[in-house]
Structure formats: C-alpha cells, structure tokens
Structure 1
Amino acid sequence: MKKNDLFVGLYILAAIIFLIIPMNSTVLDIMLALNISISMVILFNSMFTKEVLNMSAFPTILLFTTIFRISLNISSTKLILSTGEPGNVVTTFGKFVGGGNLVIGIIIFIVLIMVQFMVINKGSERVAEVTARFTLDAMPGKQMAIDADLNTGAITDAQAKERREKIQEESAFFGSMDGATKYVKGDAIAGLIITIINLVGGTVMGMLYMGESAGDAFQHFAILTIGDGLVSQIPSLMISLATGILVTKVSKEADFGDLLIKQLFSIPKVLYMVGASMIVLGIVTPLNVIMFAAYGVVFILTGRVIANKLEVTSIESEISEEEASANEIRKPENVTSLLQVDPIELEFGYGIIPLADTNQGGDLLDRVVLIRRQIALELGCVVPMIRLRDNIQLNPNQYIIKIKGIQVSEGEILFDHYMAMNPGYVEEEITGIPTFEPSFHLPAIWITEAQRERAETLGYTVVDPPSIIATHLTEIIRQHLYELLTRQDVQNLVNNIQETHQTLISELVPKLLNIGEIQKVLQNLLREGISIRDLVTIFETLADYAPTSRDTDVLTEYVRQSLKRAISNKYFPSSEMTSVVTLDPKVEQEIMGSVKQTEQGAYLALDPGITREIIESVQTEVHKLEELGKNPIIITSPIVRMYFKKLTQDYFKDLIVVSYNEIDSNVELQSVGMVTV
C-alpha cells in the first residue's frame, strides 16, 4: 500500500473511531489542532491554485473533512458532558475569544454562526449551483468550437481530445460541487444543534452531578460550549470560504491518494504560511506552545523539502530539454518537420485578423468550414485542412492563397467597406474606389456602409469582405482540387464504397486498376469540374472498360459518357435552348491524324501553324458566345474531345469541351459558330 493511500485511510478510519470510542483531552487537543491546520491548507490551496482543475478532488476532500470535524465535535461533547474538562484547545478558545467575559463570548459566537450561515454557506451554495448549470449549458458550444478549430487545422487531433476531456472534467467537477456544498451547510447546522445540546445538557449535568449552582453551572458550561463551538465552526468557516473561492475562480487519471497529497502539499509557500500561522497561534495565545510550534516547524520543513525537490526537478527539466534540443539538432533528420507542406494555406495581413478572430465577431473560420462542406457536396471530394495564418510581411489588407506551399492567387480588401459590382443593367452609378473582384476579375468599386443600402436599391451586387475572401478561396480550391487529390484520399473513397459495394470493389481493385490509375481518372474529371460524387457509376464504368484499355485518358472519356446526365444538367439547362460552337469535321480529322500512340499513352503532334489557326478560330467563336452572355461551350465528336481539350486548355481556362455522347437526349442546342482552319 502506498504511503499516501495509508494516510488517507487512517484519516477516515480515525473519524469513524472517534464517533464510537471516547478519547482523552490530550488526544482531542492534538486532533483539533490537526483539524485547524488541514483547514488552513485547504483554504490557502484554493487561494493559490492557478485553475480549478488543480483541485479536482475538492468535493471528496470536503466530505472527508466534514466527517472528521463532526467526529471531533461529538468527542468533545462527550468530554464536556461527562467530565467538564474537554482539554486545552476547547477551554482556551472559550475563555480567550470572549476575553473572560461570557456575554462577549456568546455574542462573538452568534456573529460567527450568522456569518457562516447567511454569508459564506448560502453564497457558496448558490454560486456552485449557478456555475454547474452554466457549465453544462455551455458544453455544446465549446464542443462545436473545438470541432471548428479542428476542421480549420488550428489544432491537432491530440489537442482536440485534450480539450474535450477538459470540458468533461469541468462539467463533472462543478456538478459534484453543486452537491458537495450541502455537506458544509449540513455540518454548520449540526454544529449549532450540538452547541445547544452542550449548553443545556452541561448545565443540567453540573447541577445534578457536580454540585454546582445553576449560575455556576451555566457559567462553566457556557464557556466550554462556546469554545467547542468555535473550535468546530472556525475550521468549518475556512472550508466554506475555500469552497466559495474555488467555485468562483474535474478528475484526473491518478490514484486518489497521490492526487490528494499532491494537490494539498505541492505549493511550498502554502506550507510556509500554515507553519508560521501555527507557531504564532502557539506563542501569542495561551494554546499549547510546544504542540502548535511543533506543527508549524513540521509544515515549514515540509515546505522547504518540497521547494528543494521542485528546484531540482526544474533544473533537471531544463537540462533534459537542452540535451534533447542539442540531440535533435545533431540528428540529420531534424529538418523533416520543415519539409511538410500544407495543401491549402490562406495567409493574411494584420488588418484582416478581426475577420478571422471569433472573439472580435469574425466568422471567416465558420465560412472555411462551410467551404469544405460545399465542395464535398458539389464535387464529391474531401478538401484537405485549410490552414489560416497571419503574415506580417503582407500589407495590412492583403491576403494570399497558397496551394502546396506555392502562391497561386492574391487579393486585397478594405476593412469596413463593401464591394459593389454592376451586373450589367445598372443605369445610375455611385461613387467609390475602383477595384477588381479577385475571383473572376470583374470591375467593382469599394463603398462605405452608408452607401450600401442605396447601391442595393440601384441594383448593384454588394458583398462584404469575408464573403469576398470565401468566394475567392472557393474558386481557387475548385481550380486546383485535382492536384490535392492524393492516393490516400482515393483509398479512403474506395473504402467508403466498399462497405456497401464489396463485389464492385473486389472486381475493380487491384485486379483491373490500381489506386494510382483510379486517381488519374478522378483527377481528369475534377480538372474539368465534373463531380466525382457518384463513385458507384464511375467505378462500374471503369470495371466495364478496364479489361480492354488501361489508358486513363480513354477511361476518363468512357466515365464522362456514363455521367452524361450530370454533365448535361451542369452545362445545359433544360428550360432553355443553349448556344454552342461545333468543331469542323476537317479539324477533327486533322487532329486525329496527328495523334501518336506510345506505351505511356497517346499524345498530339499537330503542326504549329495549324495549331495557331485552330486557336485563333476558337478565340473568335468564344468571343461570339461571350458577347451573347453565354458560357463558352464547344461540341466535338467523342473520339476527338480529349485531344481537343488538351490542345486548348493552356489558352482558354474556362472553355468547356463536351462530346455528343455526353449530352442528354432532351437537351436543345443551337449552333452559333464552327471552329475551322
């Protein structure tokens, strides 16, 4: 058995024994002095502890000290009624506190009881009750905040787990404290009842068995009763005060004995103060000087020993940290942590910090969480964690977006301003600071809060700075999502499908295609903005055509044709006729005649002059569609589509190339031009 467990066990066992077996006045004096000193230790610990979790064992401590104090009170009552000599401590408290005047002693005792009941006990009980209720009510909000920080990458999984455990411990602690305060209140009531019994019973015993007159018996036992009441109520008062301190400022995984001793006797200055207090009490009062001074010396020496241990531990910790740092520097792999690259980063100047700080009302973090949800629903792919950090090297209102550590876009906002964009039909212009919308590079102006309502009335599209950043970030992620799709991401998608379509996955992976080949097909789809959410259809198509071809570009075309309903719904609204541009059959023959087949796949070896003519023709036809306010869509034959897309993708990023086999039968098309050479 550990020493700490033995000490706690003896403490509780002594309380039970004192309830049954009478003790002499000397033992009672020793136990009363111990009770006072432990009450001081608890009080000062509650004052100097840095956070409430450092006193997570306080409800149990409260129960233990209460039962110990009641057992001493009952033992002193036995001595008062049987012998009229309860010992030095009780007698001294009765005489010294009242200054030898019975009336003063009674008044002081009544005042102490009123303070105990009406101020400290009632206040501590109420505070504990309210704190417990508010702690429990705040749990869902704290959990959501942790999830938000985890989704944005602000904290790691380990930190999130630690915060959740801390929230649970706090709720458990304050819930226990709400009930534990009833111990203190009940103890005070029991002490008051025992005091009345001592006074009445002692007076009767003095008159009947000790031969004292009524006045002498009342005088004698009133002093002893006051002393006994003070000896029990003063420690109770300190415990009540400690309770109030703790609940106005749960459980850790350790043996309770170790936890209790560590929490009570781990702060040297607490032990110094208790020791000094005990010595002063022994010197300036008629209390037993030797006993109280001995207690004081013991506490001071114990505090010194603990302080030495803490100093040694601190030095050893510093040395070990320095040695660990030195060893880490010596290791050749110490730069490994520097090699990690965040998939997506949003860096911003200090002027944008209020938009990301929830304490200042910023909701940028919430918007980032919504972006990940939106893209998951739209494109069927999980966006990696988005890292948000401030960068003092940027202009105050500037922000940059990085993909895999490389800057791909930037923007600048004006704090406390709004961006107003003319959708094309606004007749009356408003004044403002000219700028460009960062996502689509459309002309816009910055306006103030006072101009916002008028701009909306005139028909302007008005957006706030967080929406500008969120929209820009969403578009960048859409454009580069295919780069962010890793093999591990594909494996996770496969695992999700396998739960419900085990036969499909067992046929496809790895017999027909490996994870890398599936990744290339999904990347091809995401590169052109095609959702991969319908993975079952995609995998079914791959399983059908992989036995005849393992060319990922060809397989991508088969998958696109299987997804024609989704593609048609995305580009061709069923309610209206869509204007498109077609590809001249001669151009298609020229392209197919330039395709070269290799072991690594096919590539296009087109004459540079013909390439230039095709690009110029595409530019002319796309310009026609843009003038009509339509999306630039070119329709080709299925076999040409992927080569034509590769040919034009470096020149026209927003150009949509669709084959005839990818268009649903109910779609109405109108050709407004043809790409020719």
Structure 2
Amino acid sequence: MFRKDLALVSLIIAILALMVIPLNQQILDVLITVNISLAILLLMVAIYLRNPSDFSTFPSVILIGTAFRLALSIGTTRLILSEADGGQIIETFGDFVVSGSVAIGLVIFLIITVVQFLVVTKGAERVAEVGARFALDSMPGKQMSIDADLRAGNIEQEEANLKRTRLDKDSQFFGAMDGAMKFVKGDAIAGLIIIMINLIGGIAVGVTIHGLSFGGAVSVYSLLTIGDGLVAQIPALIMSLCAGMIVTRAANDENADLGSDIFKELIADYRVPGIASVVIFGMAFVPGFPRMIFIAVAVTLLVASFGLRKTHEIKEAEQAKSLKEAEAKEKKAEEKASVGEPSDRLVCQISKDLSDRINIKALQSDLNNMFSDLNVSRGITFPIAGIAVSETLHTGRVSIELDGVPIHKREIPVGMFMVAGDQDTVSLMGATEQEVKKETWLDTPILWVNDSYISAANNLKIDTYNLEYKLAELIFRTYEQHLGALFSKREFDTIYEIASKQDSESVKALEESLSKPVIFQILRYLIEDGVPLKPLRLVIDSLTYWNQINEGAGPVLLAECLRGSMKRQLCHFIAGDNAVLGVAMVDPDLENLARHGLSEAKSSGSLSSLEGLIFEPEITDQLIGQFNKLQQTQNAENNQIAIVVSADLRRRLRSFLAVNRIHLPVLAPHELSPDVKTYPIELISIGNVGAQMIDDDYSESNVYSAIE
C-alpha cells in the first residue's frame, strides 16, 4: 500500500541530502527535468483551478519547491566549479541562450530575473497580503451572515457547517499565501546571488585550479553559469506565475476554469472587438508600419465582432424565451407552494348548470389569493379547497363537503345577480318584490335581483357583488372554520421539518419530554383557536418552557399556556394592521353562573374537557342573541371584535360559540397584548341571575387547573 505521508517525508529528506551529497551529471539532468515538469504541472493546476482555496496546500508546495530548487542550485554549482561541467540540460540552455555572446546571455538572464522579481513576484506578494487582510477582516461579518441565514431558515445546519468550514479554510489559505510569497521573492533574490557566485567563482577556479586562461575561463563558466541560472529561474518564474494566478483568481459561482472565465469576459460585449478593429485599421496607415499585418488583424477582429453580435442576438432571444417560461413556471410554482395541493377532504361540489354560469378559473384564482394570505398569516401551508362539478346536484346548488359529508349547502338563484342594499335600493332600480329575493350571506344581508335590472344597477352605480368572489369567500370561510379538523399529519410533518431545520437542538429537547402525537394535538388546538404558528422558534421554545413548568400536563392546558406566550402574535392576527381591537367583556356574575354549571356537571361525572358551557335553555338563547348581535356588528362595520373572559372559561366559551356557529375570537385577560389598542364595546350579561352562585373549586387561584 502506497503511504503518501512516508513519500513526503522521503522527498524532504532527499532534498536536504542534495545539499551535501555530490551528484553526477546524469542524476542532475533527471532532477532538473523533474523540477521543470513539476513547475509545468502546477501551472496547469492553477489554470484549471475553480476556487483559490481548493488548492489549500499550495503554500506548502511553494516552500517545498523553493527548497528543491535551491538544493539543485547547490548541486549544480558544486558540479560546475569542481568539474567545469553542469550536465547536458544546463549546457544546452546556456549554449542556446548565449548564442556565442556572453553579454547577450547575461542580458536575457537578467531580464527574466527582473521580470520575475519586480513584476510577477512583487505583484503577487501584494495581492496575497491584501487578500489575507481582507479575509481576516471580513471573517466576523461572514460568520454573522451564516448564523443569520441559519436562524432565518434559509440554510440547513449541514450547509451552515460547510460554509463555516469553507470560510475558515479561505482565511487560513490567504494567510499562508501571504507568508509563502516571501519564499518566492527570496528565491528570485537567491537566483541572482547564485549566478554572481557561479560566474566569479567559476572564473577564479578555472584560472587558479584548472589552469585556464582568463578568456577561456570566462567562455566556459559564463556558458555554464547562465545555463544553470536559466534552469533554476524558468521553473521559479513558472511557480511565480502559478502563485500570481491563484491569488488573483476571483471565485465564481459557475465553477469555471480560468481560461473559460477570461474568454467569456473578453467576448461578453460584441462591440469591443468591433471598436478595436477600427482603431487597429487606422494604425495601418501610420508611416512605416507594416500595413497588411494591421489590416489583417483589423479584419479578423471585425469578422469576430459580427459573429459575436449574431451569437449575442440568438442568445438574447433564447434567454428571453427561457425567462418567460421560467417566470410562468415560477408563478405556477409559487401559487402551488403558497396554497398547497388541492384538498381531497374539503371539496366544493357545484351543479352542472352553475359551472356553466360562473368562471371557474376566476373562482380558482380568488381562492388561491385567499389561501395564500391564510398561509402567510397562519405560518402553515394548507391545501386549497377542491372544486368539483356534480352531475347529481339540483340546479344552482352548491354543497361544501368535509370528508364526504356536507357541512354547508347553498342555492344560487338562476337568472339573478347579487346586490348590496335594502328595500330602498330595490325600489330605486324599479324592481318588484317578486323579482327580489332576500338572503343572508356570511352574516351579511344581501339581495338577489332579476338579471333584467343589471343595466339599471350599473347606471345607478349600485354596489353589486362578483359571484365568483363571493362564492370563493364562502368556500374559504367554511374552510377556515374547520382548520383544526383539516390539520393533518402532512401539515404537521411539514411544520416539524421546518422547525428542525431552524433549531434542531430545541426540537430535540422538546422531543425528550413530549411525544409527536401530543405536540400534534397541541398545535391542532392552537389552529382551532386561530393562533398563528409563527415564528416557529417561539412556538417550540414556549412549548418546551411550559411543559417544564407544568410537568405531566395535558395538551389542552399546554395549548392555553402557549397562547399567553404568543399574545403579541395572536392579538396582531385578530386586530390586523390597524392594531385596534374592540373588546366585549363577560360579566363576572355570568362567569360565576358558568362555573356553577360546570361544577354541577363535574359532580355528576358528565363533564368533558372539550365541551362548552352549560346554561338553562332560556339563558343560552339570550346569550346566543347577544353574541350574534356582536358578530353582525363586526361584519357590518368591519370592526375587529374579541370577547374577553376569565382564563378558566375561555376555551369552553370558545367551544360554546363554535357549536352555535358564532365565530368570534375569545381571549383571556392575560392574552391581551399592550401593542394593540383596546376599547370596550359591550358587557355580556344576563342581569343578576346566578350572582350568588360562586364555587370555590373555580376560584382565580385555580384558574389553570380548571382549564382541563
């Protein structure tokens, strides 16, 4: 088995050995070839690198490469000075560059060295220094951004960990590159010093030891010195280019290589080569310039510009088409995501003739908008109510069904339209009583008027209702009244998954004390009561807290406690953006009467934690009348009204109202938020009945125990 760690150890030991062990020409030729090959290999890596930190070991590679080149320089210097021979590669490099002139060879070598030292290395060093500083300075901000995205639920915990790892890796890389560029700079300086030592020392050794004439020594050792310098400096220059390309490489989202990025950005605008061709064509007429060469280049750029323009137009057309298709898909996906899939549990059956009279598409669009608002306000994605055409329903009939059982039926008169108004409105249009049908639609009085009066209503600017919208509103309100029953495992699993992504630790802590079925039941109770389940973090944290305080408590008590923790969200949801809420207080005598009835029912063993309040029939009728009046006032004046009752009676009063089809929010005093302005509108009372009936079991000190 190949041990990579032992291979690296062996390589470093071999590099150190090169500095002290004399080598023959053949081994030096092999090592020089390896040095040049490795430099070219690193250049290819730099060109095809997607992200600078993907080559995190590059600073270490620079250090090892620099040590390897210095060891080779020591070995070649020893061979040149001792035997006046540096091997075939060094001799060939020197002979090829010198071309019979020592001066030419020295000038070329100095140019290469100066370019490497003053241009490439100096620039790369500065970029690495600035990159390291920016990476370290921006690290806290990037960490905070990752934490904010995680808290907001935009990313998962696993993705956040990957981002943190990448950030740490980037900062370490640029910090290491800042130091590694000092090795490259030192390598260039060492190359200059070594060539001077080789040249002066070689001439001295040649004259004093080998008995060469001064001219002969200059000829031999200058060729070998320049060859040795080029053999060392060319790989060093390539290494400097690699470092420069890596530290100046900006990471991109497309993970493209450097060549692809450069080419793409050069031809991004087809006008660039066109304008350049005009300038170059003008330069062709400068006296003394090779005219045909400039014209050929100008024509080439002009042809490229026309080609790029054509490609650009085709690409723009394709992008416009793709964008249009993507927008359509996105819109469809957003609608689907915001309202969920059509429900197979709550279905609105409409008769065949009614489906021909109304615009099903408009009805569906209105439903989508209503359900989208519902899901945003409640923090849950509920499925939209389904619409089906029934062949068996009678003419003009609508039947809203829950799990196959009708829960609301309605007849839409044939040949009539819906009008807002009273008898005076009818008289104004000139319609007779026989041509008008009075009805209550969602607790609001409306009139059905014969279609022959549509023109008269429009001319008189009388308010008429859009049938599709009113029907969508009817379906939606019916759906909203049964959200608790419609809250299924699918919605629960979705909420649970989102909560786990936002704060997995809190969810795990909650799971240790409460089972999923119990959590499901608590959330269902909250949904029935109209409590928005957002933010989810607050729901989970509050539920964990109240479960610890009330260890062993049931779902009903925990749901009631949770309402108090979410009073700001609850009151804002009820009051709306105006933050004003009308309050109808329940008379304390009436509360005592209710407690007395509950106490008697408890004594007889007939009390259920989910039953409503128990009154005498005449008192029940009187209360229903008062509550109905409140509901009509809310619908007529479009005011937001809530009933306030003691905490121990809140849930039972809510159930009492729901059974009697009264849909007003019921709050306990501690659930009123200071962020919402409240004003009294009515006292729910039935006189002095039951004022003396106070039961000790339902005292204020026993409020929460009385809930269940």
**Aligned partner of 1:580: which letter?**
A
Q: Deviations over 1:387-440 (max 9, x none)?
A: xxxxxx999x9793656652479xxxxxxxxxxxxxxxxxxxxxxxxxxxxxxx
Q: Report deviation, 1:515.
A: 8.5
SS at match of 1:49: coil
Whether 1:655 aligns to 2:659 is no
- Closer, same or farther: CA 351–168 of 1 in aligned 2, 3 Å: farther
SS at match of 2:35: helix
Q: Report deviation, 1:75.
A: 1.3
Partner of 2:227: 227
Q: Report deviation, 1:676.
A: 5.8
Q: Deviations over 1:192-243 (max 9, x none)?
A: 1111111111112222223333233222222221111111111111111111
Partner of 2:173: 173
- Closer, same or farther: CA 84–651 of 1 in aligned 2, 3 Å: farther
1:107-506 → structure 2 map (5 Å cutoff): 107-249=107-249, 350=327, 400=372, 402=375, 405-407=381-383
Q: Report deviation, 1:96.
A: 0.8
Q: 2:586 aligns with which of 578, 582, 585?
A: 582
Q: Deviations over 1:513-572 (max 9, x none)?
A: x8966885687578465998777995688469x7xxx7x657877x69999999999999
Q: Report deviation, 1:11.
A: 2.9
How far apart in 1 are the matches of 2:548 and 2:147?
Answer: 35
Whether 1:674 aligns to 2:684 is yes
Contact persistence 1:560–1:662 (CA under 8 A): no
Q: Report deviation, 1:133.
A: 2.1
How far apart in 1 are the matches of 2:176 and 2:74?
Answer: 27
Contact persistence 2:97–2:105 (CA under 8 A): yes
- Closer, same or farther: CA 543–201 of 1 in aligned 2, 3 Å: closer
How far apart in 2 are the matches of 1:592 and 1:601?
Answer: 14
- Closer, same or farther: CA 628–94 of 1 in aligned 2, 3 Å: same
Contact persistence 1:131–1:174 (CA under 8 A): yes
**Aligned partner of 1:51: which letter?**
N
Q: Deviations over 1:45-86 (max 9, x none)?
A: 221233334422211211111111111111111122222122
Q: Deviations over 1:576-624 (max 9, x none)?
A: 9996343584996699489796586452488999877644421323566
How far apart in 2 are the matches of 1:539 and 1:615?
Answer: 36
- Closer, same or farther: CA 153–671 of 1 in aligned 2, 3 Å: closer
Partner of 1:50: 50
How far apart in 2 are the matches of 1:563 and 1:26?
Answer: 83
How far apart in 2 are the matches of 1:50 and 1:521?
Answer: 50
Q: Report deviation, 1:111.
A: 0.8
- Closer, same or farther: CA 660–75 of 1 in aligned 2, 3 Å: closer
1:5-84 → structure 2 map (5 Å cutoff): 5-84=5-84
Q: Report deviation, 1:24.
A: 2.0
SS at match of 2:86: coil
Question: How many pairs align?
Answer: 449
How far apart in 2 are the matches of 1:191 and 1:60?
Answer: 20
- Closer, same or farther: CA 225–146 of 1 in aligned 2, 3 Å: same
Contact persistence 1:90–1:228 (CA under 8 A): yes
Contact persistence 2:610–2:652 (CA under 8 A): no
- Closer, same or farther: CA 40–674 of 1 in aligned 2, 3 Å: closer
Contact persistence 1:582–1:634 (CA under 8 A): yes
SS at match of 2:50: coil
How far apart in 2 are the matches of 1:660 and 1:133?
Answer: 57
**Aligned partner of 2:586: which letter?**
T
Larger radius of gyration: 2
Q: Report deviation, 1:492.
A: 7.7
Whether 1:603 aligns to 2:611 is yes
Q: Deviations over 1:625-660 (max 9, x none)?
A: 899998634355676543221122478898343568
How far apart in 2 are the matches of 1:568 and 1:400?
Answer: 19
Identity %: 32
- Closer, same or farther: CA 400–100 of 1 in aligned 2, 3 Å: farther
TM-score normalised by L of structure 2:
0.51
Consecutive unaligned residues of structure 2, counting only runs of 5 or more, are 250-325, 332-363, 386-479, 533-537, 688-708
SS at match of 1:580: strand
Contact persistence 2:563–2:671 (CA under 8 A): yes
Q: Deviations over 1:347-401 (max 9, x none)?
A: xx949989xxxxxxxxxxxxxxxxxxxxxxxxxxxxxxxxxxxxxx999x97936
- Closer, same or farther: CA 210–516 of 1 in aligned 2, 3 Å: closer
SS at match of 1:672: strand
SS at match of 1:400: helix
Give the CA RMSD over aligned residues.
Answer: 5.5
How far apart in 2 are the matches of 1:205 and 1:24?
Answer: 19
- Closer, same or farther: CA 556–156 of 1 in aligned 2, 3 Å: closer
Q: Report deviation, 1:33.
A: 1.8
How far apart in 2 are the matches of 1:13 and 1:143?
Answer: 41
How far apart in 2 are the matches of 1:129 and 1:147?
Answer: 28
- Closer, same or farther: CA 32–651 of 1 in aligned 2, 3 Å: farther
How far apart in 1 are the matches of 2:124 and 2:563?
Answer: 72
Contact persistence 2:644–2:666 (CA under 8 A): yes
Whether 1:634 aligns to 2:628 is no
